[in-house]
Amino acid sequence: MEKELQEVLNELVGEESLEKFRVEYEKLIIALKKSHENEKRLMTKCRELKAEISSNSLKVEMALKLSHEDQTTILSLKKELEKAWEMQDASNEREKTYKETIKHLQHDVEHLNDLVEQSALLAASEGKSVGDLLKLKDELTAERDTLLSEVVTLRENIEITTTKQYEAEEANMKAQEKILQLQQDIQVCQNECSRETRQKEKLEKEVKQLRANIEAQHLEIKSLHAQCHRSHEEHLKMEQHLHEQKVVNERASKELELLHLRNIKLQHENEHNAISIEHLTNENHQRASELKMEKEEVSQMKHEIAKLTKIRENTQKKLRMIEGQKLEQMMDEALSNFLAQSGLSIMMLVVILIRVAASDERDRLCQLNQQQDWLGGEIETAQKHLECDKRKIDELIREKEMLTKNLIKAANATERQLDLVKLHEQTKKTLDQEILNYKDEAQKQRKIIFHLEKERDRYINEASDLTQKVLLSMEDLKVQEMEIFEYKKKIAEADTKLKQQQNLYEAVRAERNNYSKSLLDTQQEIMEMKCKMKAMSQETGQLTEEIRSKDAALVKEHQEFQRVEKEKEALKAELQKMKQQAQDAKQYMENQDREEQKLIKMISETDTEKARLKKELEQASDPSTFELIQKIHSLQRRLITKSEEVVEKELLLQAVTSELNMYETQTQEYKYEIERLAEELRNVKKKYYMQKRKEQTCREKERSLVQAEQPLIMPQRIDGPRFTGGGFSMKQGNKIAV
C-alpha cells in the first residue's frame, strides 16, 4: 500500500496545480504512520500496565490478608497479656495473704513461747506437777511444729508464686516484644499497601493518559480524513468559483455601465443642488434680516406693554380716588335730598348705599379683569409669534447644514464613483485575462479531477476493505488480550515463570514479523547457530576443564592460605609475647632509669661526700672513708652492668619487630595473591555462566525457529511493503499463533 501511495505522490510531483494536494497527502501518510506506530506502542504499554496492575492487586490482597492475620494475632496476644496480668495480680494478692498469715503465725509462735516461759515460771512458783508441764510442753511443741510446717509450706508457696510471677513477667515481656514486632510488621505492610495503592493510582493515571493519547490519535486520523475530504471540496469550490467569477465579471460590466449613467445623473443633480443651495442661502439671509426686524419689534412691544401696564395701574388708582370722591358727594347730595323728601332712617340709607357701591365696584372690577385678560392674550400671542420665529430660524439653520453636508457627500461620492469606474475598467481587463487562464486551467483540472475521482473510488474501496480487516484484527487482538489477561491472573502466583513467559512472548512478538518475512535467512542462521553451538560446546568443555584446574589451584591456594593464617596466628601470639616482653623490658628500663637517677643522685652525693672526705683525709686518714669509697666503686660497677643489659634487650626488641614486619608483609602478599586468584575464579565463572546463557538462548531460538517452521507461518510477499495494523498483518492468511 505504501508503494502505491508513493507512486500516486510521484505522479502528482510534476504538476504544479496539484502541489497543494500532494503536500496534504504526504502529511496525511506521515500522520497515519505515526498514529499506527503510536497505537502499537500504546497497546504494548497497556498490556504491560494491565499485567502490573493485576500482579500489584494480588500483592495488595496478600498484604491485607497478612495485616488481618497479624491483627488477630495481636488481639490474641493482648488477651494472653491481660490473663497474665490477672494471674500476676492474683499471685500478688496470694503472696500478700501468705505473708500476713506468716506474720500471724510468727506472732502466735512468739506468744506461745512467752506462754511456755510464763508457764514454766508459774510451775516453778506455784509448784505444779511435772507431768502437766510436760504435757503442756508437748502440746506446745506439737503446735510449734505444725506452725513451722505451715510456715515451710507457705514459704514454698511463696517461692512457687514468685517463680510463676517471674515467668509471667518474662511471658509478658516476650508478648510485648512480639506485639512490637507485629506492629512493626503491620506498619511495614501498611507502608507497602500504601505504596502499592500509590503505584496503582499512578498506573491508572498512565492508563487514562494512554487512552486519551489513543483517542487523540484517532481524532487526528479523523481530522486528516476530513482534511482530505475538504481538499476535494475545495477543488470543487474552485470550479464553482470560476463559474461565479464569470458571472461576476458580466455583472461588473453591467454595473460599470449603470455607474456611468448614474455618474452623469449625479453630476446633473449636483449642478441643480448648487443652484438650489444659492437660492436657499439668499432666502436664509432674507429670513435672518426679517427675524432681526421681528426681534426688534418684539422688544419694542415688550417695552410698550410694560409702559401700558404702569399707565393702567396709575389710571386705575386715580379713577378709584375720583370715583370715591364723586360717590361721597353724590351720596351726600342724595342723602340730603332723600332725607328731605322721605323720612327713612339713616341706617337703611347706609345699607342701600353700600349695596349700590358694591355693585358698581363689581362692574368696575369685571371691566378691569376683562382688560387684563385681553392684554395677557396679546402678550401670549406675541410670545407665540416669537417662538414660531425662533423655530423657523433653527429649521433654516439645520437645512443649511444639511445642504452643506449633502454637497460634501455628493462631491465625495462623485470622486468615489470616478475611482470605481477606473478600478472596474482595470479589473475588467484583468478578469478577461484571468478568465482565459481559468478556461485553460479548467480543462486541465477536469482531466485531473476525472483521474482523481477514479483513484478516489479505488482508494475508498481499498480503505473499506482495510478498515474491515483492521476491525477484524482489532477484535482478534481484544480476544487475545482478554485471554492473556486471564492467563496472567492464573499465573500471578508463579512470578518467575510469568517473567520468563513474558520475556519469551516479547521476544517472539518482536521477532515474529522478521521471521515471517525472511524464513530462508533464518534457516541459514540456524545452520550457523548449530556450528556456533558446536564451537560453544567445545569452548564450554575447555572452560569446564579450566575451571576444574582453577578450582584445584584455588583449593591448594586456600590450603596454603590457611597454613599461612595459622602461621600468622602463631606469629601474632609470638608478637603478643614479644610485645609483652617489650613492655616488661620497657617497665624494667624505666625502673632502671629511676634507679640510675637515684644512683646518679647518690654518686653526686658521694662525690660531695668524697670531696669532703678527701679534705678530711688530707687532714687525717680514717677507715670509714675507705669503706665509703669501696661502696661507690661497687655501685658504679652495678650501674654499668645494668646499662649493658638494657642495650642488649633493646637490640633484641629491634630484631623481633623487624621479624614481625617481615611476617606481616608476607601475609599481606599472600592475601593479595588469594584475592587475585578469587577474582580470576569469579571471572572464569562469569564466562562460564555467560557461555551457558548463550547456549540456552541459542537452544530457545532454535526451538522457537523449529516451532516457526510450522505451516501457520506464511512468508510475506516480496512485491512491496504492506501496511500492517497493531503489529499484525492485515491479511487473514498471515496470522501467527503464539
Q: What is the pLDDT of residues 390-431, one digit of tens each?
A: 787 777 778 777 877 777 776 777 677 777 767 767 777 777
Residue 503's pLDDT band, with cuts at 50, 70 and 90, is: low
Q: Which grid coordinates belong to 510?
A: 518482536
- The CATH number of residue 191's host domain is 1.10.287.2610
- Cα–Cα nearest to 684, from 507, 541, 557, 547: 547
Q: What is the pLDDT of residue 716?
A: 40
Query: What does pLDDT average to over the chain?
Result: 68
First and final C-alpha spacing in the chain: 26
pLDDT over 60 (residue 731): no
- Residue 411 belongs to a domain: no
Residue 629's pLDDT band, with cuts at 50, 70 and 90, is: low
Q: What CA–CA distance (Å, rounded) separates 636 from 642?
A: 10
Specify the range with the lowest mean pLDDT, choosing from 21-35, 198-212, 356-370.
356-370
Number of helices (H), then strands (E), belonging to the chain: the values are 7, 0
Q: What CA–CA distance (Å, rounded) separates 133 from 137?
A: 6
- Residue 721 belongs to a domain: no
Q: What CA–CA distance (Å, rounded) separates 502 from 731?
A: 26
pLDDT over 60 (residue 63): yes
Residue type, 702: E
Q: What share of the chain is helix, strand, coil (3-state, %, to 5)?
A: 95, 0, 5
What are the pLDDT digits (tens) for 130-141? 566 567 667 766
Beta bridge partners of 728: 725
Q: Which grid coordinates belong to 334?
A: 342724595
- Residue 355 belongs to a domain: no
Phi, psi of 101 (to 5 degrees): -65, -40
Q: What is the pLDDT of residue 500?
A: 60
Q: Which helix (H) or strand (E) holds 422?
A: helix 346-490
- Number of domains within the chain: 2
- Count of residues for the chain? 738
Average pLDDT for 376-386: 71
Residue, of 258 and 478, whose pLDDT is higher = 258
Classify residue 254 as exposed, middle or buried by CB count within 10 Å of its CB (0-12, 13-18, 19+): exposed
- Residue 433 belongs to a domain: no
Asked if 137 and 116 touch (Cβ cutoff 8 Å), the reply is: yes
Residue 509's pLDDT band, with cuts at 50, 70 and 90, is: low
Residue, of 229 and 391, whose pLDDT is higher = 391
Name the domain boundary from 240, 258, 280: 240
- Cα–Cα nearest to 47, from 733, 731, 737, 727: 727
Name the domain boundary from 214, 240, 266: 240
Residue type, 699: R
- Residue 476 belongs to a domain: no
Asked if 228 and 26 touch (Cβ cutoff 8 Å), the reply is: no
Report the range out of 113-127, 227-241, 347-361 with the highest average pLDDT: 227-241
Beta bridge partners of 504: none
Q: What CA–CA distance (Å, rounded) separates 78 from 84?
A: 10
- Residue 192 belongs to a domain: yes
Name the domain boundary from 183, 208, 240: 240
Residue appearing with cell numbers 629511676: 594
Q: What is the pLDDT of residue 735?
A: 34
What are the pLDDT digits (tens) for 436-462? 776 777 677 677 777 777 776 776 777
Asked if 288 and 393 touch (Cβ cutoff 8 Å), the reply is: yes
Q: What CA–CA distance (Å, rounded) separates 669 from 653?
A: 24
Q: What is the pLDDT of residue 723?
A: 38
- Cα–Cα nearest to 273, from 137, 148, 367, 410: 410
Residue appearing with cell numbers 340709607: 349
- Residue 17 belongs to a domain: yes
726 Rama class: left (phi>0) / alpha (psi -120 to 50) / beta? left
Q: What is the pLDDT of residue 726?
A: 41
Q: What is the pLDDT of residue 489?
A: 67
Average pLDDT for 243-269: 75
pTM higher than the cut 0.85: no
Residue appearing with cell numbers 506472732: 107
Average pLDDT for 107-120: 66
pLDDT over 60 (residue 384): yes
Q: What CA–CA distance (Å, rounded) separates 633 from 637?
A: 6
Where in the sequence is the domain holding 70, given as residue range(s)? 2-240
Average pLDDT for 42-53: 75
Q: What is the pLDDT of residue 737?
A: 32
- Residue 398 belongs to a domain: no
Q: What is the pLDDT of residue 415?
A: 75
pLDDT over 70 (residue 524): no
Q: What is the pLDDT of residue 82?
A: 74
Q: What is the pLDDT of residue 710?
A: 46
